Structure 1
Amino acid sequence: MAKDDGFGKYFAYLNLFIFFMLLLVLGSNYLVMFIGWEGVGLCSYLLIGFWFQNTNYAKAAKKAFVMNRIGDLGFLIAMFFILANFGSLEYSVVLPQVAGLPMGDSVLLVITMLLFIAATGKSAQIPLFTWLPDAMAGPTPVSALIHAATMVTAGIYMIARSNIMFTLSPVTMEVIAIVGTATALIAAFIAITQNDIKKVLAYSTVSQLGYMFIGLGVGAFTGAFFHVLTHAFFKALLFLGAGSVIHSMSNEQDMRSMGGLKKYMPTTYITMLIGTIAIAGIPPFSGFFSKDEILAHAFVANPIFWVLGFLGALCTAFYMFRLLYLTFFGKFRGTEEQKHHLHESPWAMTLPLIILAVLAVVGGALNIPEALHGGHWLKDFLSPVFADTNKIAQPFELAHSTEYLLMGASAVGAIIMAFIAYQKYVKKEEVPQTDDAVQPSGLYKLSYHKMYVDEIYDAIIVKPLNGLSKFFHQIVERSGIDGLINGIGDFFLSSGKGIRQLQSGHVGFYIFMMVIGVIAFMLYGLLTI
């Protein structure tokens, strides 16, 4: 960013974002949270569209803003319901009252569903997830901060903060788990075939957010928050690592034009390898512990959630190692000019990578499970927040032998997928097809075209709304409202032109009109006697 014309403006936006994010998490009531919630949405819009001279980037910013507004409406209506039913928006007033309500209360069902709609917008869940991949239009540090570690996890924070409401609304919890599972799987499926290095990480973020929602939906509030923390470490690392690669590649983001960067960028490679192992869930790195905790709770709640979550984890390991191999292994596939420019990034870029890599390795120590003789530090730290939920929720019971089996399956599955990716992209040196090559077919085509979600939204929402707006503009506004206003104006203008002819300036004509007027008054007087 140093040579960018908007350098000062960029840091002003970034600091404004941090202000609103702190407001969101430090507020003691839903109103302050909402102000922070709206503020981070605004700053996200400003930062995604930072290079607004590019029309596509400006459209991506607008898309993010509009889709977030849909969710924000749910939050706003939920606040009105909370105020009407509990007489306050303060957590300390509302949540104790909620704890006294019966399980499945209809008011709580409405409030929690509205809050969940808000969370789907901010945290990019189905159906409001398509804005996040497009948000990669912003500078890479923005992707690392906002779209990996902070803003997109606001929905998880909000649900975890309101945990007792959701615990007493089992229908909403079931919906959250289902939507989270679907999001985790679909986003992982799409990420497998993407070629833009930042797009892969963006869909990975959507998928990991899905895992956090699975955790919330099955009552693993601590596990979901634990994954928020570990995900912040390794995903920010991966985004900044991608930024380091893009910087070295002269702003090239297509992995098909990379390859063999390992020898040119050793620090970036080693740190991104650590981040990849962590997100793949391979022990003893941080992602293994947080993802395992969510999947263990999902297994207890409903084994189907575990199976689908496990499939998503396999996809995660495959597409992340695919990214690593296509970027750092094999032969360099870029231009000679790009090859001449290849170099390791300066310390200002590599130092944060090293710090985040260390955190990605040791971050799992925050909440090591009991089965591995851990101390559950994070669970104890957060226990006051989840105290009411813990009183009524079913205790988590899973035999250590079963937990070891689940852990082993997850870790072995990730290693196998890493090996398959190695065979495909390193041994066989396969490179994904270019856009103008023979079009892919079947599931590959479905994944490559992002399951046509944007096209479906364009067909059933965007185009009809554009058509309706054109109808209102042409018929209602221009022909109707404008026609009426302009018609009244034209009538008085024409009338004025006609009456103005009487003001001729000839004294004889004025005397003649006065005589006519006097005669008219006299006749009127005679006729009315």
Structure 2
Amino acid sequence: PSVGLFIASLGAFVALFAASMALVNRDMKRVIAYSTLSQLGYMFAAAGLGAYWVALFHLMAHAFFKALLFLGAGNVMHAMHDELDPFKMGGLSKVMKGTFLMMTIASVALAGIFPLAGFFSKDLILEVAFVEHHYIIYTVLLFTAGLTAFYSFRLVALIFHGEDRYKLFGIHPHEAYKFMLIAMSPLLLLAIIAGAFKMSYFEMVTNLLPATEYHVHSAATYWIMTIGTQIFVALAILYAYKKYTRKDIVVPDGTSKMENSFAYKLLINQYYIPYFYQEYIVKAYRELSEVFWTKIDQKVVDATVDGIANVFYQTGERTRVMQSGNLSTMLKWMVAGTVALLSLAVVFGLAARYSAEIKTFLSGLGV
């Protein structure tokens, strides 16, 4: 139980930690990637609390709408000539209606709005934390749900709504090919209906894993939790739309008060973890590698290998005269070889004949 609680706490931390970085990031694909990490935190929270099937159910449901978001982001990226900054987009719903519809529905599912897939799986995790009386974990996950709704629709608002900021950069976007939208359609359907398979999934998973079916004992408590979560998420979506669909949205240039605030710098720099990794791990490792390269790899390993190669090379250079093809030279080597063989035969013959005397002589010398 203690290990499980630690895993659940770590999952709740990761969910909040990743979601906080997605709030301000200006890379469309990174926002979705941080979202994936955040949702994995949800799954670990459920698994740590013993609700294995709930964790796996969220993994399954999440796969559909997150894959849909990534593919939709690919459509946008292709249309915007590989541009990833949503602040340089805006108004794309006019020219990318299909992608806009799919990414919006996927974002609704990610935010956990009823009756899409994310509602059934994410609310189950919140329910597990509440029923198990882990109210801190529940509060963290509930707050993260609001953040998820905010950054998801921040992305949708910046990309598809507001002014056509892409015109400032000379970009002419276009919708993805029809076959791409058709290929994404099954994911769209599953993002909508996957929640309906909750009990079927429960029965399948619990045949393999220990099962605990969680229920809030009071119907009133259940409805208060569910409606409260939905209101909280809806307010986060409305706030994102209000903030990022204004006509005065400009591409951040580092001069605004918000961009110079401590919180913004902390989040946009990913809590300075990449900086710490680069400065204190990568650089140190690179310097150590250069030392090993010059002192060990070149002077020991390479020198040893080259030395062995040179021995064979020099030996070959010196003995190649034996194979010159000159008859007199070949006869000389044949005579020398014959003399050597006869000499060895005489030595071994004498050693065999006088072996007893040799042993007696050597024992007398104390050998």
What's the TM-score bracket when you normalise by the shorter of the two chains? 0.7 to 0.9
Q: Which residue of 2 aligns with 1:418?
A: 237
Structure 1 residues 479 and 410, CA gap change in structure 2 (3 angstroms): same
Larger radius of gyration: 2
Unaligned runs of 5+ in 1: 1-169, 368-375, 495-529
Q: CA deviation at 1:252?
A: 1.8
Q: Say if 2:293 is the partner of 1:462.
A: no
* Contact 2:162 2:247 survives alignment (8 Å): no
- 2:207 pairs with one of 381, 384, 398: 384
- 1:213 pairs with one of 44, 48, 51: 44
Q: CA deviation at 1:489?
A: 9.2
Alignment of structure 1 residues 20-169 onto 2, 5 Å: none
Structure 1 residues 396 and 335, CA gap change in structure 2 (3 angstroms): closer
Q: Say if 2:61 is the partner of 1:222.
A: no
Q: Which residue of 1 aligns with 2:214?
A: 396
Which whole-Å CA distance do the structure 2 matches of 1:408 and 1:452 have between them? 37
Which whole-Å CA distance do the structure 2 matches of 1:184 and 1:263 have between them? 34
Partner AA of 2:165 in structure 1: R
Q: CA deviation at 1:383?
A: 2.0
* Contact 2:163 2:247 survives alignment (8 Å): no
Unaligned runs of 5+ in 2: 315-367
Which whole-Å CA distance do the structure 2 matches of 1:491 and 1:347 have between them? 67
- 2:292 pairs with one of 464, 472, 475: 472
Q: Say if 2:303 is the partner of 1:303.
A: no
Q: CA deviation at 1:260?
A: 0.5
Secondary structure at the residue paired with 1:292? helix
Which whole-Å CA distance do the structure 2 matches of 1:354 and 1:318 have between them? 25
Bigger relative contact order (CA 8 A; separation at least 6): 2
Secondary structure at the residue paired with 2:249? coil
Q: Which residue of 2 aligns with 1:313?
A: 145
* Contact 1:282 1:288 survives alignment (8 Å): yes
Structure 1 residues 481 and 337, CA gap change in structure 2 (3 angstroms): closer
Q: CA deviation at 1:201?
A: 0.6
Which whole-Å CA distance do the structure 1 matches of 2:79 and 2:19 have between them? 27
Secondary structure at the residue paired with 2:245? helix
Structure 1 residues 253 and 492, CA gap change in structure 2 (3 angstroms): closer
Which whole-Å CA distance do the structure 1 matches of 2:144 and 2:116 have between them? 18
Q: Which residue of 2 aligns with 1:427?
A: 246
Secondary structure at the residue paired with 1:427? coil
Q: 1:105-156 CA distances to partner (integer Å, 9 max, x unpaired)? A: xxxxxxxxxxxxxxxxxxxxxxxxxxxxxxxxxxxxxxxxxxxxxxxxxxxx
Which whole-Å CA distance do the structure 1 matches of 2:8 and 2:73 have between them? 31
Q: 1:450-476 CA distances to partner (integer Å, 9 max, x unpaired)? A: 111112222332222222222222223
Percent identity of the aligned residues?
A: 38
* Contact 2:254 2:260 survives alignment (8 Å): no
Normalised to the residue count of structure 2, the TM-score between the two structures is: 0.78
Q: Say if 2:154 is the partner of 1:327.
A: no
* Contact 1:260 1:327 survives alignment (8 Å): yes
Which whole-Å CA distance do the structure 2 matches of 1:491 and 1:422 have between them? 76
Partner AA of 2:138 in structure 1: W
Q: Which residue of 2 aligns with 1:202?
A: 33
Which whole-Å CA distance do the structure 2 matches of 1:489 and 1:381 have between them? 63
Alignment of structure 1 residues 487-526 onto 2, 5 Å: none
Which whole-Å CA distance do the structure 2 matches of 1:460 and 1:276 have between them? 38
Normalised to the residue count of structure 1, the TM-score between the two structures is: 0.55
Partner AA of 1:355 in structure 2: P
Secondary structure at the residue paired with 1:330? coil
Q: Which residue of 1 aligns with 2:361?
A: none
- 1:448 pairs with one of 235, 260, 268: 268
Q: CA deviation at 1:182?
A: 1.4
Structure 1 residues 264 and 174, CA gap change in structure 2 (3 angstroms): same
Secondary structure at the residue paired with 2:140? helix
For these two proteins, the number of residue pairs brought into alignment is 314
Structure 1 residues 264 and 403, CA gap change in structure 2 (3 angstroms): same
Secondary structure at the residue paired with 2:166? coil
**Structural RMSD (CA):** 2.8
Partner AA of 1:396 in structure 2: Y
Which whole-Å CA distance do the structure 1 matches of 2:97 and 2:249 have between them? 23
Partner AA of 2:234 in structure 1: I
